[in-house]
Amino acid sequence: MLSYRNRRSDCPEYERAPMTSKNQTTSAFSPSFRQPLTLLIPCWRRLLLGLLMMLITVVIQLSIPRAIAYFIDHAVRVDDRDWLSWAGWLMVAVLVVHAGATAMRLYLFESAGATMVTALRQRLYQRLLGQSISFYDQHRIGDLSNRLSADVEQLKDTLTMGFAIALRAALTCVGGAVLLLLLSPALSLLMLVIVPLSFYAARFTGKKLRGKSRDVQQQLADCNQLAQESFANIRLIHAFNQQRSAQQRYRQATDDAKQSAIASSRLLASYQGVTTFIQYLVLLVTLWFGGQLVLAQQLSIGELTSFILYAAMVAMSATGVSWFWGEWMKAMGATERVFQLLAQAPAQPLAAPADDQHTPATPISGDIRFHNVSFCYPSRPEVAALTQLNLHIKAGERVALVGASGAGKSTIASLLLGFYQPASGQIYFDDIDAATMPLAQRRQQLAIVEQEPSLFSGTVMDNLRFAVAASDRMSVSDEEIIAAAKRANAHEFIQRLPAGYDTHLGDRGLQLSGGQKQRIAIARAILRDARILILDEATSALDESNENQIQQALNELMAGRTTIIISHRAATIAQAERVVHLRAGQVVPAT
């Protein structure tokens, strides 16, 4: 007899999902600069128009100091009131254009951000759905949902508004620098020394920020995971009086995240301090040196005024560009895992290819054969769940799988459903090697009633329709759904719900009892009308009063189908024509 301890497997080293897990906060994966920019492609029209608006505002902004210089040096010296009011109206008109272009620019960039973030979320969600079940065995749900929410949002802010602000700052910086050179090359040289300092400070801080931001994001994901787990297990927490310890764990996790966020803010604050100092230093030096030039009559007061305004503009824009560098680094650190996930190929052949979904399955009679199948779960490669298992279930046969907990009963169901692939050996459906069958087609032949059926938030009708929404029977009428519910003995209790079939089931279907959920699951299996039926502890939540009713429904469901019954209940096992005993991942030979 094999014991668990010596159930070591000859399973190959599984390829682990590359995404970092809880304790790995650093990753070798690093998105290129271009990668995030490709996300902007779907909204390029809006962005282009936004850039045009930005160009208008930059040109206006750059022309203001020159206009002021002209005003000081010429206009106020001539006593021409008509000219003054004409100039006033012109300025109002320019300001209106400036305000309009600013509003348009903001709207265009914000809406482009919303478009980008939606497209990214959809892509990421699709990628996640396409991963194998073993991927989910190895990743925490809280972590993944954080990628979809907080990480994506962070990228949006940087890529759209942040990018726009930086671009405007860069344009202003370059334009201002050219105008400064034209005004006074001597004074401009001073700027050449000081401005690069602010870029250097940005580069230095940016690198550090990237790492810190990645840590913050990971710690936030940890908090999210903790909260999700607590909410999902809220009954257990209350039953065991563990509210205080749950609170402590959450406090600890959020305090850790706070510490990292504070460290990040400290870095950012010091950087802001340094750049602000550089900014004002530029102004002071310009003022002092410019004053000398005015005294030497090499510069007019108007020119000095406009020079100072340009110098301030250039210094501020340089800070803006370098600020963006910091933000970019932060966003890259925070979203490394988003790009890691996007780069992760869907798990073929485990994932259902999209166009397979609608291809009708080649009908099979329901004959199943496991030939020398060995398997270990990718998250536990050191333990064999099945070892050289041989099992033949004839079409239409009703077989019960029994055995101690951990013997491998549910694993057989998971392999049939193609959640995992055998490490060695073959599974045949009607002599067709399952490995050669498109996964979606294989699944069309199977229906499962689980021990703890999952219900989605939505109406009862939605939850029933879910069984066939994307299968070979593309649509079913409400009447067919109600007929299935009647056959599953679910119709009566559904009718008693506040809005009948239109009653909204809460998160995870909490409003229903275990037995009611199982009847919904049976109705789903009836709707699927598959050749092979798997009942995984399907009657575990039934009391004696409704057991007979359910059993009737199940008998009708099982008629003419290959049925695999996984159960510990003698009454359920008695429904089988043959009982297969499993022990330590193998079939126990009949004595």
- Binding stretches for ligand ATP (CB under 6 A): 137, 377, 379-380, 383, 385, 403, 405-411
Quick check: 374 and 9 in contact, CB under 8 A?
yes
The minimum distance between CB 52 and ligand ATP, in angstroms, equals 54
Looking from the CA of 196 toward its CB, the CA atoms found within 13 Å total: 4
Which one, of 24, 15, 18, lies nearest residue 221 by Cα?
24
- Which residue in the block uniquely carries the two structure tokens 């330590």? 584
Burial class (CB within 10 angstroms; exposed 0-12, middle 13-18, buried 19+) of 453: buried
- Which residue in the block uniquely carries the two structure tokens 């055995």? 403
Which one, of 457, 417, 427, lies nearest residue 132 by Cα?
417
Q: Which is nearer to ligand ATP, 14 or 70 (CB)?
A: 14
The minimum distance between CB 521 and ligand ATP, in angstroms, equals 17
| Residue spans of alpha helices (H) in 344-423 | 409-416
Alpha carbons 30 and 26: distance in angstroms, whole number: 10
Q: What are phi and psi of 540, to 5 degrees?
A: -70, -25
Alpha carbons 583 and 201: distance in angstroms, whole number: 66
The minimum distance between CB 234 and ligand ATP, in angstroms, equals 24
Q: Which is nearer to ligand ATP, 291 or 514 (CB)?
A: 514
Number of C-beta neighbours around residue 257 at 10 A:
20
Q: Which is nearer to ligand ATP, 150 or 588 (CB)?
A: 588
Identify the bridge partners of residue 453 per DSSP, sorted by sequence position: none
Number of C-beta neighbours around residue 556 at 10 A:
13
Q: Which is nearer to ligand ATP, 22 or 74 (CB)?
A: 22
Q: Which is nearer to ligand ATP, 151 or 450 (CB)?
A: 450
The minimum distance between CB 588 and ligand ATP, in angstroms, equals 13
The minimum distance between CB 8 and ligand ATP, in angstroms, equals 12
Quick check: 386 and 374 in contact, CB under 8 A?
yes
Would you call 10 helix, strand, or coil by DSSP? Answer: coil
Dihedral sign, Cα of residue 501, residue 506, residue 509, residue 513: negative
Q: Which is nearer to ligand ATP, 63 or 390 (CB)?
A: 390
Number of C-beta neighbours around residue 291 at 10 A:
12
- Using DSSP bridges, classify how beta strands 562-566 and 532-536 pair: parallel, antiparallel or unpaired: parallel
Task: Report helix angle 514-528 to 478-487, nearest 10.
Answer: 120
Q: Which is nearer to ligand ATP, 356 or 452 (CB)?
A: 452
In order, the DSSP letters of 177-221 are HHHHHHH-HHHHHHHHHHHHHHHHHHHHHHHHHHHHHHHHHHHHH
The minimum distance between CB 408 and ligand ATP, in angstroms, equals 4
The minimum distance between CB 371 and ligand ATP, in angstroms, equals 19
The minimum distance between CB 20 and ligand ATP, in angstroms, equals 19
Task: Report helix angle 81-129 to 44-73, nearest 10.
Answer: 160
Q: Which is nearer to ligand ATP, 411 or 562 (CB)?
A: 411
Which one, of 483, 552, 549, lies nearest residue 516 by Cα?
549
Q: What are phi and psi of 228, to 5 degrees?
A: -60, -45
Q: Which is nearer to ligand ATP, 410 or 489 (CB)?
A: 410
The minimum distance between CB 47 and ligand ATP, in angstroms, equals 45
Looking from the CA of 101 toward its CB, the CA atoms found within 13 Å total: 19
Q: Which is nearer to ligand ATP, 19 or 485 (CB)?
A: 19
Would you call 375 helix, strand, or coil by DSSP? Answer: strand
Q: Which is nearer to ligand ATP, 458 or 514 (CB)?
A: 514
The minimum distance between CB 428 and ligand ATP, in angstroms, equals 20
Q: Which is nearer to ligand ATP, 136 or 428 (CB)?
A: 136
The minimum distance between CB 225 and ligand ATP, in angstroms, equals 18
Query: Token digits for 357?
Result: 């979904």
Q: Which is nearer to ligand ATP, 350 or 461 (CB)?
A: 350
Q: Which is nearer to ligand ATP, 198 or 586 (CB)?
A: 586
Quick check: 335 and 154 in contact, CB under 8 A?
yes
Query: Token digits for 480?
Result: 């067919």
The minimum distance between CB 409 and ligand ATP, in angstroms, equals 4
Alpha carbons 415 and 422: distance in angstroms, whole number: 7
For the chain, what is the radius of gyration of the CA atoms?
34
The minimum distance between CB 279 and ligand ATP, in angstroms, equals 57
Alpha carbons 141 and 21: distance in angstroms, whole number: 11
The minimum distance between CB 380 and ligand ATP, in angstroms, equals 4
